[in-house]
Amino acid sequence: MLNKFKTFLIRSMQGRNGPDSISRSLFIPIIFLMILSAVVNNSIIKIISIFLLWALVFYMYFRIFSKNIYKRRSENDAYEKRINYLKRRIKERKDYRFFDCPNCHTHLRVPKGKGNIIITCLKCQTKFERKV
């Protein structure tokens, strides 16, 4: 019985995206909105939080059961890339400052404590001045 159910679950998820980093990270704001909508007395905030809660739940299930795996994977890869960049920024914030190139928006990392310097973009060679 349990094996049949397990097989049914596996079969029904075939060809679908399944849980990924984006859908998993939606779990925290969903729990927060559940608590907020239960605790708050203001009816406007309650309605907005319940609306947002359902929107996030719908989006999470949309991602998990989506059959457009290629598109969901590329969205997830872009999300993970962004998260990893932010983690790196936090980890290295004591020794480096981070800038985006004004021309091509490439992320650039510069050692801290050098005063006013001219930064040259590694990708497009644009020069710009910043205080580090």
Nearest CB to Zn ion, comparing residues 60 and 121: 121
Nearest CB to Zn ion, comparing residues 68 and 103: 103
d(CA 37, CA 50): 6
d(CA 25, CA 75): 14
Query: CB of 91: closest distance to Zn ion in angstroms?
Result: 24
Nearest CB to Zn ion, comparing residues 16 and 109: 109
14 phi and psi, to 5 degrees? -65, 135
Query: CB of 84: closest distance to Zn ion in angstroms?
Result: 20
Please list the alpha-helical segments (H only) found in the chain: 2-12, 21-25, 27-39, 43-65, 69-91
Nearest CB to Zn ion, comparing residues 60 and 119: 119
User: Which residues are near Zn ion by CB under 5 A?
Assistant: 101, 103-104, 106, 121, 123-124, 126
d(CA 14, CA 2): 19
Query: CB of 75: closest distance to Zn ion in angstroms?
Result: 25
